[in-house]
Structure 1
Amino acid sequence: MTSLPEDPPPLFGEDDRDTAVQRVQEAYAEGRISHEEMDEHLHQVLTAKTHSELVPVLASLPQENAGTTSTIAAAGGRIKRRGEWRVPRTLKVESAFGRVHLDLSRAVIEHPVVDIELQLGTGRARITVPRDAIVDVEGLHTGWKDTLYKTRGRSRPGGPRIRISGTMGFGRLKIRHVRR
């Protein structure tokens, strides 16, 4: 009786590795791991060849604080946040019919990365971000109109990273950096 050779462990792509590196860096930036732990985790991620070598590294990262997600929801009407307000790590905005205006220009942003998840039916959304913010709209899906956003030519280091994701049905999202 001959035994069949075992299948080699599945390899993973550079996108998986990049995602793992980003998770380790975010854990460090949010103060959940020390500098030494970050170095150790990054070394393990960068030298891993299979998923089975990568999974324990990511599983050992401390979980985010549960209190860092907030949801703003309205069936119709306006959702508006402006002035000095505290921005959570993850902000979910849900509106079936209406306008959304989030002004982060004077907001208190304590996290290096802020995720804004939009679930909008119809209506427009406008987001004003700090001058030095880096905006990522890769995770946003629009149904009818495109997103209006021009990336800034040069951003000063140290600004927050604003990641916008979710879905918009029949509205338009306009993102702008504050001028002052």
Structure 2
Amino acid sequence: MSDLEMRVSDEDRERAAQQLQRAFTEGRLNQLELEDRLEVALTAKTYGDLAGLIADLPHESPVVDDVVLLESKSGHIKRSGDWAVPRRLRVVSKYASVELDFSQAAIPHPVVDLDLDLKYGSATIVLPEGGAANVDRFQNTWGSTSTTDVPGRPRPGALYVVVTGESKYGQLVVRYPRRRWFTH
């Protein structure tokens, strides 16, 4: 029996479905292709069934699970402009304020996992227009969390930031870039 004839698990089906969904958000598949391939992926019985679905898509990078750590006890953590955003970002701050501006950043993946450990600090997350953020797993003991006008569900082709972690006394604000009005 060849590897392609071996039976797949539910986890294998789910992994293939996630890869297809990423390809759709990156614009590699259109809606009809996604739907057709997902139907096959979720009913696949063998690795051969799955192999044909993803053969023409880029393979995932082996560094997907790497985590970049930004840490400060009392300073200011800021990233803005053209910066490389990792797939997983952990920010640890005891008293510092945090500002992560994704609006002009280089982001090669559709989902960014952001883990915030703020203690007494606050964080501002600026998304590119159309981006979305899920803050449901962020806990704020005495502070506040605000996502005014920012959707909480992923959007096709747009950045999706999943925020986890906690803050004791600070606040978390997720917003779009401020509009600038110019007069002549």
Same fold, TM exceeding 0.5?
Answer: yes
Separation in 1, partners of 2:178, 2:43 = 40
- Confirm whether residue 98 of structure 1 aligns to residue 100 of structure 2: no
Q: 2:75 matched to which residue of 1?
A: 77
Deviation at 1:69, TM superposition (A): 2.2
Aligned residues with identical type, % of pairs: 30
Deviation at 1:172, TM superposition (A): 0.3
CA RMSD of aligned residues (A): 3.3
- The structure in which a higher percent of residues are strand is 1
Residue type of the alignment partner of 1:124: S
The alpha-carbon distance between structure 1 residues 82 and 146, as it changes in their structure 2 partners (threshold 3 A), is same
Separation in 2, partners of 1:63, 1:24 = 15
How many pairs were matched up? 143
Q: 2:147 matched to which residue of 1?
A: 149
Separation in 1, partners of 2:44, 2:148 = 37
Q: Report if the CA contact (8 A) 2:129-2:177 is conserved.
A: yes
Deviation at 1:41, TM superposition (A): 3.8
Separation in 2, partners of 1:44, 1:179 = 47
Deviation at 1:40, TM superposition (A): 4.3
TM-score by length of 1: 0.66
Q: 1:174 matched to which residue of 2?
A: 173
The alpha-carbon distance between structure 1 residues 156 and 117, as it changes in their structure 2 partners (threshold 3 A), is closer
Deviation at 1:68, TM superposition (A): 4.0
Residue type of the alignment partner of 1:43: T
Gaps in structure 1 of 5+ consecutive residues: 1-16, 46-61
Separation in 1, partners of 2:140, 2:16 = 30
Deviation at 1:127, TM superposition (A): 0.8
Q: 2:42 matched to which residue of 1?
A: 42
